[in-house]
Structure formats: structure tokens, C-alpha cells
Amino acid sequence: MADLFKNLYSQNFFEALTDALQNVLKRFNRQQFLQEIYDTEWEELELKQRMHHITTILTNYLSSNYPKSIEQIEQVITWLQQNRVEDKVKYPDLVFMIFPHYIELTGLHDFNTSIRAFESITPFSTCELAVRPFIIKYEDKMMNVIQKWTAHPNEHVRRLASEGCRPRLPWGMALRRFKHDPTPVIPVLEALKKDDSAYVRKSVANNLNDISMDNPQVTIDIAHMWKGLSMNTDWIVKHACRTLLKAGNREVLELFGFGVPEHMEVRNFSILNDRISVGDDLEFSFKLYNHSNESILVRLEYAIYFLKQKGHHTRKVFKISEKNYAPGSCTVINRRQSFKLVSSRKYHSGEHYVSLIINGSEFEEAAFTLQT
């Protein structure tokens, strides 16, 4: 993903940023700033490395007085908003994380100023990564602030309350204490489970999904308590349990009505091209029979067992559908799985496997060869 996104720090981004800095900072030298940005290592830097590099250089142009520097950043953001930076720059919420990163790097000593800055800045560029060192250093104090944020009038701040304390936030440092014991996080999620904003509720679901990876029973217990409260909490519960569903957790499957598939049968499972190259699609098909006299709710998935460099295989589950199959029915299902190169996965030549999964139970398996 970093390979795809690092070039978001584009000419348009730097034109917008330097225009804003020039309008806010006295004696700002645009040419010098850009020369420092485009140093000999710039081309080799990935997204987060570029963010850090820009923030480090920006620090030298802002006031050495931390509260004053925050005022300058807020003025820069105001200028960018007034000049509709979102029309000129792709993913402004992402690329302008240089500002929260500045707080993370510079403001850990000044708790009150940084908290006020998080509230001010996060509607423009999310502070979910930047709050994590504050949680680690000031856990009780920070969690009290986060709890207050759950009642904030701005949805971005309320989302920050949940997103910032996720135990396993992607791209962010893990909160090891919360991975071990998520108890301090639960009151935050309880306060937000009925939030009016889908943006906030999705973060609550993602937080619970994080918790499920280290403390599955905590998420399962909450799922039992929240399911049925409303359509919105039902959505949170389902999205929060996605990792448990893919893992075939029987308690969670049954919570959503996916019983043991004793009356379901797979026939004629066939791989149409059992030798493929990177860039190709794997194609397979099968017939699914319901031998019972009743309709059966089925969660249908397949797993790819990817060959790794040391010769072992790792399993990744992909969802096909969730639907009812009529009594006595026979359904023909065709599926494609792309093997295009992506930055998040490295392929290795050799034998791979694909299997079918019905309500968490693994059925047929077949081998195919991938050539890189």
C-alpha cells in the first residue's frame, strides 16, 4: 500500500502546503523548504517515511514555542480549508497527517496544549496515530479525555475516541496493555455504540474486531449483549465479528444463525486452470446441494493456502456469500481469485491449495500450481 500511496506527496500537495505556509509564517523560504524536502533519499522513502521527513523539516520552520507552533498549524489548516485544498490534493486527510505527527513528535511534554490541538486538528486530518504515545505515557489521564470525547459534538472527535484506542490500529503502534486487557477501552465503545454517525460506528466495530484477535471472548460477550438492540448495533456486531466468522468460531456462527451444515453437500468441485502464473485468475466451480426439507442459512467462503518461502502454507479466507438455500436445491457456483501482484502479498512458485468452507466447516480441497 505504501508503494501505491507514497507519491500522494505530489507537486500539487507541496504547492498547497507551501502556499499556506507562506501566508502564515513570516520569512518562510519556499525554495529552501523544497530543497530540504527533495534530498538525496526522498525517492527511496515510503509513505510514512515521507510523512516523518516532511514533519521533521516543517518543525524547523515553526515557532520553537510549542503552543505558538500549534496556533501556526491551525492557521495553516484554516488557509488550506478556505482555499479548498480537497479540490487540489488527493486524500488530504491522509497526507496532512504531518500535522498530527508534529504533535506526536513535539508535544508529548505539553499534555493540555496537545489535547486541545487533537480536538482542533482531527476534523481536518485524523489524529488516530498521534494520540497513541499519549495513551502509553498518560494512560489514565488520556483515557479520561477519550471518554469525554465520546460526547463531543463533532463526529470526527467522537471517532477519534474509538479509533485512537484500538489495540491493533493499522499503521499505528500497538497498544500492548490493551491487547492484553481491553477493559479500559470497553466504556468508550459502550458510549459510542448508538452514535448517530456511521463513521463513528464503523470505528467501534473495527475496535471490537481488534479486541477479538487477542481476547475473542470479550468481543463475543459484547456481541451477545448488543445484538438485537437496533439495526445500527446489529451492523456493528456483525462487522466486529468478521475475523471470528472467518476463523469459523462456532459460537459466533450460531449467534448469526449459521448452524452446523450437516445437510449441505459439495459436488463436482473443479479447478478450471490448475496451472497459473502471477497476474492470472484462478477459476473454480462446484455444485452446492441442500438435502434437508428446510431452508438453510449459509455463509459460503473459500480459503487459499498460499505457499510461503520456507515451504509452509498460510491460509486466507475469502467470502462468497451469505444467503438462504431452499430445501432440496442445487446451486452451481463459479468463482475467480485474482493473483495480480499487490504490495501486501508476495507470491512463491509451487503448489497452493483452495478449499471450500460452509458455515465455518471446511469441505473440499484441491491443489493448483502457481508460477512466478
Angle, vertex CA 183, rays to CA 177 and CA 185, nearest 5: 85
Structure confidence at residue 1 as a pLDDT band (50, 70, 90)? very low
Mean local confidence (pLDDT), 136-158: 98
Helix (H/G/I), strand (E/B), else coil: 169: coil
The number of angstroms, rounded, from the C-alpha of 124 to the middle of its chain's C-alpha atoms is 19
CA 148, distance to chain mean position in Å, is 24
Burial of 344 (0-12, 13-18, 19+ CB in 10 A): exposed
CATH 3.30.70.920 fits 264-371, yes or no: no
pLDDT at 3 over 60: no
Label residue 341 by pLDDT band (50, 70, 90): confident
Mean pLDDT, residues 200-213: 98
**Within 13 Å and on the Cβ side, how many CA atoms surround 129?**
20
What average pLDDT does range 331-343 have in this prediction? 93
pLDDT band at 4 (very low <50, low <70, confident <90, very high): low
Summarize pLDDT for 64-79 with one digit per residue, the tens. 999 999 999 999 999 9
pLDDT at 124 over 80: yes
> Domain extents for the chain?
2-130, 264-371
CA dist 113 → 107, 116, 155, 162 (Å): 8, 5, 21, 21
* Grid coordinates belonging to 343: 504490495
Cell of 316: 486466507
Please give the Cα distance from 298 to 34 (Å, whole number): 57
Q: Which has the closest alpha carbon to 215: 271, 175, 261? A: 175
Q: How much is the pTM?
A: 0.92
pLDDT tops 50 at residue 144: yes
Q: pLDDT tens across 65-121, in order? A: 999 999 999 999 999 999 999 999 999 999 999 999 999 999 999 999 999 999 999
Kindly provide the residue ranges of all beta strands, DSSP E only, lying in the chain, ordered along the sequence. 264-271, 275-277, 281-290, 296-307, 313-325, 330-338, 350-358, 361-371
